[in-house]
Amino acid sequence: MSTFEIKFLTFRVFRFGDTKAFRQLHTLHAARIRHYIAFRVNRPEDADELTNEVFLRAWEYMTAQQVENITALFFRIARNLIADHYRKGGKTVPLTPVMEDGLAAPGSLTRDAEVQEEAAEVYKVMKSLKEEYQEVLLLRYQDEMSIEEMSDILGKTPNAVRVLLHRAKQALKEKV
């Protein structure tokens, strides 16, 4: 779907409360949002619940004002909800549960042995990096976001994101 069509759908939600348009946006984004959340929470049930909550909050926001970049909005809400989710449990947000609970943790979303082996190597190195470096590397290489998308989600200018990404890669290089 083109950027224009997505903007038109967003306008329909804002101006007409068009749930059909919102459903199309849900269909376009739900899988990606759930994937983003699923790597950051422990249980599939939590991922499902938080994914739905992202869209509910987005609906409230979108029907009140026109949104310029709906994809960025969904991810920003997801990020905030993940932080709230851990705050309620009195924990800080882990980069990924794999790193906190170990590879074979029950209920871990990454039970696949091959994936686990690869994940172990990557996360072992990344865990030693600063949190903001971890976040930006995951967004770029695991979630495959563009610089502009990352800039909207992180609330930084595209240039600041490029600099942060460069520093993160340099830091990663030093650890290897």
Binding site residues, other proteins, CB under 8 A: 2, 4-5, 8, 11-12, 15-20, 22-23, 26-27, 30-31, 34-35, 38-39, 44, 47-48, 51-52, 55-56, 59, 109-112, 115, 118-119, 121-122, 125, 137-138, 141-142, 144, 169, 172-173, 176
Task: Please say which residue, 55 or 75, places its beta carbon nearer to other proteins.
Answer: 55
DSSP 43: -
In the bound complex, what is the minimum distance in angstroms from residue 161's beta carbon to other proteins? 16
In the bound complex, what is the minimum distance in angstroms from residue 21's beta carbon to other proteins? 8
In the bound complex, what is the minimum distance in angstroms from residue 15's beta carbon to other proteins? 6
**Terminal Cα distance for the chain, rounded:** 40
Task: Please say which residue, 104 or 155, places its beta carbon nearer to other proteins.
Answer: 104
* CA neighbours closer than 13 Å in the CB half-sphere of residue 152: 16
What's the CA angle centered on 151, arms 164 and 139, to 5 degrees?
70
Which amino acid, one-letter code, is at 147?
Answer: I
Provide CB contacts within 8 A for 55, sequence distance 6+. Answer: 22, 26, 30, 33, 74
In the bound complex, what is the minimum distance in angstroms from residue 158's beta carbon to other proteins? 19
Which amino acid, one-letter code, is at 52?
Answer: N
